[in-house]
Each structure stands twice: as structure tokens, then as C-alpha cells.
Chain A
Amino acid sequence: MSVVEDGALRGATGAKRPSRLFRNPMAKIASIPMILTAMVVFVGGTLWTVVHSFTGSKLLPKLNWVGFDQYERLWDTPRWLISISNLALYGICSLILTLTIGFILAALLDRKIRFESAFRTIFLYPFALSFVVTGLAWQWILNPDFGLQSLVQGWGWESFQFDPLNNPDIVMFGLLIAGIWQGSGLIMCIMLAGLRGIDEDIWKAARVDGIGTVKTYVRIVIPMMRPVFITSLVLIASGIIKLYDLVVAQTNGGPGISSEVPAKYVINYMFQAQNLGQGFAASTMMLCSVIIILIPWAYLEFGGRKNA
């Protein structure tokens, strides 16, 4: 990471010159699109949303202040509470399972096997398909009358029951099966790249010391792959919070409201209920949770590095 330090150093020496603003003018000009995107679209759009969450906007955004009314109503709405707990359940399971499956698959592929690229392609291809496609395909497979359940029953296991999309208690797992199917391949790929980046000597040393394979992975390799895990974590987490298309395509929130998620609440209240203020309040809560999750990450990424 010497680049970072040098860059900082260059900035520091530059401070002595009077025309600091005009140093490296090209780099600054070239960064204008990024700065505009960050400040105008992301910060501007977010602030706009937060401001309007304190209004009673209905169909059109207006500035008729209502204080915290939208938030009070939000936290009093069963559907929002269900959405939050669904997302928490989905998020935790998805994080753990995607990381575990991604790592195990990568470790298996890293063991000098034949047909590695064929397996890798198989695990990765779902990532090329949209969530809408994923949702439709799995809705079809999980259909109790045509799909998996009837297949297994046809094999003679008459009492076999697996109907997650029509059972409010396990519907989130129906979504999870599809979500992991779509997303784990990319994580596997990143993990595999991380494993390949680990020096052969580590393995040699571990063998010399008589440390078993599993133990080597857990004790030595995984700690060394911290940046890889962090990248994966960020990718998975950003996908989880946005979970929407898959739900709409696969269950549309059903049965009842048992697979509702926050992003869907936001959309429904903004557009169907025509209560923009309520939708904005809900999306502000989503942003808050993102920030709460991301601050530790940003600290680890940027704060941690300076100490190192």
C-alpha cells in the first residue's frame, strides 16, 4: 500500500505551494464525474429523501412538515416489523451460507482437481442471470404441484413436504435457496482468487509442522485472507439490503405478508399507497442501518490501514 502513503505525501508537500488547487489539474478534471456522482446524486439524493421523510408528502413531494409522524407510524406498522425481521433472517443466513459455501467450493476447486474450469463455470453462471429470472425459475421448481415436492413424492416418499413458497413459516428459506444459488458463484470466484494469492510456502511449512489440512485452512489461510473476506462481505451485504427483485419475482411478499422486505415496503408505500413521506421514512431507516453497518467496515478498511 505504498501508493497510498506516497499519494498522501505528495499532497502534503504540495500544501506548501501557493497554487495547490491547480496542482494536477487533469486529475481533478478527470475526477469531476465521480465527484458529481458522489455529491449531487448520492449525497444530494439522500438528503432530499431524508428531508422529505419529515413531510406529509403524498403523491408528489411537498414540504409540509409533520415532524416524526412518519417514523412513529412506520415503527407501529406490523408489515414493516415483519420486513425488518425477514431481512435480518435472510441477511444473516445469506451472509453465513454464502461465505461458507463460497469458501468451501473455492477450497475444493483449489485442490488440483480435474475439470476445474467446468465446475467453476457451473457455479458462476447463475450470476449472469437477473433476480427476476432467478425468482421465476425457483418459483417453478418449488411449485408443490409440479416441482420438487411432487418429484420426491413420485419416488414413493408420499409424505414428503417441501412447499416453502406457500408456507409462511419457511418462505424466507425458499428465497434463500434462490438467492444463494444466484450469488454464491461470484463469492466462490473471489475466494478462489484469494486462495491462489496465498504463498505455496505456507502450505509447505504447515505440512512440515504436521498441521492437518482443515486446521491449516482455519488457523492460517482464513486469517490471511482477511481482505478477501471483507470484499466479499461488502458485496453480499450491499446485495442483501437491496433485496427486492427476487422477492417480487418469486413470492411477491406472500403468502400474506410473510416474505415482505424493507425495499418492497418502500416501493409499495411510495407508489402504490401514494404516501411518499412514509416511503421516504422507511428508506431513511434503511440508509441508517447501512451506515451503522458500514462505519465499522470503513474504520477497518481505512482507519486500520494507517496504523499498519
Chain B
Amino acid sequence: MKLSTKLLAATAIVSASAASAVELEVTHWWTSGGEAAAVSKFAEAWNATGNTWVDGAIAGSGGTARPIIISRILGGDPMGATQLNHGRQAEELIEAGLMLDLTDVAEAGGWADIVNPSSLLDSCTLDGRIYCVPVNIHSAQWLWLSHDAYEKAGQPVPSDWNEFVASAPALEAAGMVPLAMGQQGWQQNLAFGAITIAVAGTDAWREVTVNKNADVARGPEYTAVFEAVANARELARDSNVQDWNQATNMVITGMAGAQLMGDWAQGEFSVAEQVEGQDYSCLPGLGLNEILDTGGDAFYFPANDDPEITAAQKELAALLISPEVQVSFNLAKGSLPVRGDIDMAAANGCMQKGLGILADGGILPSGDQSLSADTQTQIEDLMAEFWSGDMSAADAQARYADLIAAAD
């Protein structure tokens, strides 16, 4: 409580300097149902301060939005604030002096004490200065299961990945797609990552992803991973949807048994008024290895000459991480809050599971923090090719290891 008073005080100081109402344009690529509901919490809170939130949503994905965001920052016509995944994406923009230094806001708000896990703040930090506000924690290692589908197939709902694989023939026999999978590289890569952590374990994962050890990527643990992924590929053969939320929709409607997707899928289940434990189940770490990565979204504030806008940017930065906004935003988005000192009792079962794992320290750095966008795109290309074709597991493993060896 003490901390949040301090934060409110900080907000008050900043807002005092920004007496007049300011319009801030905020770009983001949150356009699905759950995402839009979440972003409206930000907008409402911001508008309540007397300022105006100009919504700059760009539909598609980060891949569509990022060139637009970067071109505008480079072109000297920046937006007020923008979503970017934290990690290594914005490093160069910061080095070029294009991003606003938020260190004073962070110190006033005591971010160093409240942000949990602290690695989130580290990825916003460059040379001791803080440049972004982490707004949520997203983990990718979740298996979402449709109770409806299992009821139709006359099977109990699996409690881990192995049981799910074993139950797949029954689902198929009942005319359902065992595994819903959107046909986009990043989703296939996400599924690969989730299966890796579940099958190979965290040590091998860490050695490959963080330390870029190509020998481990060529080793037996990863052979098992690629065989499991090849198996999953067969289970997803008949899934022809593109967007991740269309795949989630297959689980919601019982057309598919399960989906491997990040915790943001939660938002779609909420929008569809599904009840956890009754209509669907979620298995963090695929039920095998209860550990989650700590990726997430962050907001950056491009540097601006206008002191009024700079003041408003700092005010917004403090607002995004304030307790009330963190609670309402993350409840809507299905993600975990970035601070450990707030009451998330309203969260549903899946989020409680995630919070529990987080509290126990079962965390891994996210791939965004370890691998460059370049390497990730190459791996996504490989996964897209692998999932849609007939590439053998051994070939895929060899190419994956080469990419890891060349990773920067």
C-alpha cells in the first residue's frame, strides 16, 4: 500500500506539470476481441485523467504494425506511445536517442521494488536507464483443452501433453481435429517452443536458447523434441485456419480437442463466456513441466520535442503500471500483472495457476529476450516449412541446429 501511495504521489507530480489536456496517439496491434477489451481499460483510465487517448490500432500482427511504427519514429513524426515487445527489439532505437528516458518516472514510482519478476524491468533497461513500461507478462507454454470435444469423444479430459497425444485417435474417430493450429509461422514456432520445454526440460532449453549451444540442439533431447513436434504436426493436419483466435475458436466450439497457445487465449474464452474447469481446461507447461516464460508487452515512448507531450508521456507511463490499471487490464487480457503487490483475487483458475507458478519462481526468460528478431524469424520460417510439409524430424533438427549456431 505504501508503494502505491508513493506511486500516486509520483503520478500527481507529473500530472501537475501537464496541466492542460493532451492528446496522445497510442499505436498497438491488439485488435482481437479480448485484446480490444483490454486496451480499452488503458484508454478509459487515461481519458479519466482529462487527457485523450487517440487509438492507433493496426490490425494484422506485430509484423504489419512494426514497420509502420518504426518508419514513423525514424521519420521524425512519432506517436505518443507505442506497444513493442520488450527484449531486444527496441535496443537500436534507444541507442539512436529516439526513445524517451523514463528513469525519473521509474524511480519516483519505485518500479525496481514492485516489478516482479525483476527480469521484466531488466529488458527495459539499457546502460542503467529505463526506457519502457512493462504492462503484462505473457507466457506461451499453455495447452487449452475443450471439454465439449472430449465429451463427444467419450474420453476424460487429459491432464498433460502425453495423455493428450494418447487421446488423439479417439478425437479423430469422433470427427474432430485433435490439435487446432493456425497456419502462421509464429504460432507453429510457439507450439515448438512449448513442446520443447515440456519434452526436453528446462536445462536443455536454456543451453540452446540462452547460450546458443548448437551441440545440445543436435543432441538426443532435441531429437525427442522434433519427433514430438512431428507427431503434433500429424494431429494438426486438418486444421486449416490462419489466425490464432480462429484456432482458439475451434476449441471453444468443440471442433478441435486442444490448442497450444499463449495465455492470451484466455481472453477469447472469456469473451465467449466460457468457464474454466467446466467448458475448458488449461495446462501451463503442458502439464509436464510447470514452468512459464516471461515474455510480455511493453510500451515505449518515442522522444518528442514538445515538453507538454513529454510530460503527458511520463504521466501515461506511470498510469500504465498503477495498481488499478494493472488489475483491470490484465483481467481483460488474460495476462499476468507485472507487479507482485496487487490483489488478483478476481482472476480465474487459469490465471491463478499462472500466478502460482510465478510466485514459486518457475520462470524462464522469454525467447524475445534471448534470440534476436532475425533468428526468431528464421526459426519461424523453418517451422512454417516443417509444419506444412513432410520434412523429416531429423532434417528439421539439423537445420534448427545450424540456425542456433549462427544466432547472434
Contacts and interface: CB of A to CB of B under 8 A. Distances in A.
Given A254-B183, A272-B66, A168 B388 contact: yes
Nearest to A78: B385
B92 A60 contact: yes
B63 interface: yes
A190 interface: no
B242 A60 contact: no
Nearest to B60: A248
Contact of B93 (A60, A79, A268, A269): A60
Contacts of B384: 253-254, 256-257
Contacts of A269: 374, 377
Contact of B373 (A144, A254, A273): A273
A40 interface: no
Interface in A249-308: 252-258, 267-275, 278
A220 to B, nearest CB: 49
B376 A255 contact: no
Contacts of A270: 67
A58 interface: yes
Contacts of A268: 63, 377
B96 interface: yes
Contacts of B89: 59, 274
A252 B74 CA distance: 27
A252 B388 contact: no
A166 interface: yes
Nearest to B96: A60
B93 A59 contact: yes
Given A166-B240, A257-B384, A258-B388, A272 B373 contact: yes
B280 interface: no
Contacts of B240: 144, 166
Given A60-B92, A273-B373, A254 B381 contact: no
Nearest to B92: A59
B118 interface: no
Given A59-B93, A270-B67, A257 B381 contact: yes
Contact of B374 (A78, A168, A274): A274
B183 A273 contact: no
Nearest to A56: B408
Interface string B364-375: 000000001110
Contacts of B128: none
B387 interface: yes
A123 to B, nearest CB: 31
Contact of A274 (B242, B372, B385, B389): B372
Contacts of B52: none
B381 A79 contact: yes
B70 A271 contact: yes
A212 B63 CA distance: 57
A45 to B, nearest CB: 14
Q: Is the interface of B mostly helix, strand, loop or mixed?
A: helix
Interface residues of A, number: 26
Contact of A257 (B74, B376, B385): B385
B327 to A, nearest CB: 33
B385 A58 contact: no
Given A144-B240, A271-B66, A271-B70, A278 B374 contact: yes
Residue with the highest number of chain B CB atoms closer than 10 Å, among A58, A256, A269, A270: A256
Contacts of B40: none
Contacts of B376: 273
Contact of A258 (B63, B70, B93, B389): B389
A110 B16 CA distance: 76
Given A271-B66, A272-B66, A58 B374 contact: yes
A253 B377 CA distance: 14
Contacts of B373: 272-275
A255 B388 contact: yes
B184 A272 contact: no
Contact of A256 (B70, B96, B388): B388
Contacts of B62: 272
Given A257-B384, A273-B374, A168 B67 contact: no
A78 B240 CA distance: 23
B378 interface: yes
Interface in B347-390: 372-374, 376-378, 381, 384-389
A271 to B, nearest CB: 4
A274 B376 CA distance: 10
Interface string A47-74: 0000000000011100000000000000
A181 B387 CA distance: 31
A257 B96 CA distance: 34
Nearest to A58: B92
Nearest to B68: A271
B404 to A, nearest CB: 15
Interface in A216-243: none
B283 to A, nearest CB: 27
A254 B93 contact: no
Contacts of B66: 271-272, 274
Residue with the highest number of chain B CB atoms closer than 10 Å, among A253, A255, A271: A271
Interface string A85-103: 0000000000000000000
A59 to B, nearest CB: 4
Contacts of A274: 66, 89, 372-374
Contacts of B185: 257
Contact of A272 (B63, B74, B242, B385): B63
Contacts of B386: 256
A275 B387 CA distance: 24
Given A252-B242, A254-B242, A255-B183, A272 B389 contact: no
A273 B378 contact: yes
Residue with the highest number of chain A CB atoms closer than 10 Å, among B66, B184, B384: B384
8 contacts: A79-B385, A144-B240, A257-B385, A257-B388, A271-B63, A272-B66, A274-B89, A274-B374
Interface of A: 58-60, 77-79, 144, 166, 168, 252-258, 267-275, 278
The 9 tightest CB contacts between A and B, nearest first, are A256-B388, A273-B377, A271-B67, A255-B388, A59-B92, A275-B374, A274-B373, A272-B63, A273-B374
Interface of B: 62-63, 66-67, 70, 74, 89, 91-93, 96, 183-185, 240, 242, 372-374, 376-378, 381, 384-389, 399
Given A254-B388, A272-B66, A273-B378, 13 more contacts: A59-B93, A78-B381, A79-B381, A253-B384, A254-B384, A255-B183, A256-B389, A258-B388, A258-B389, A270-B67, A271-B63, A273-B373, A274-B66
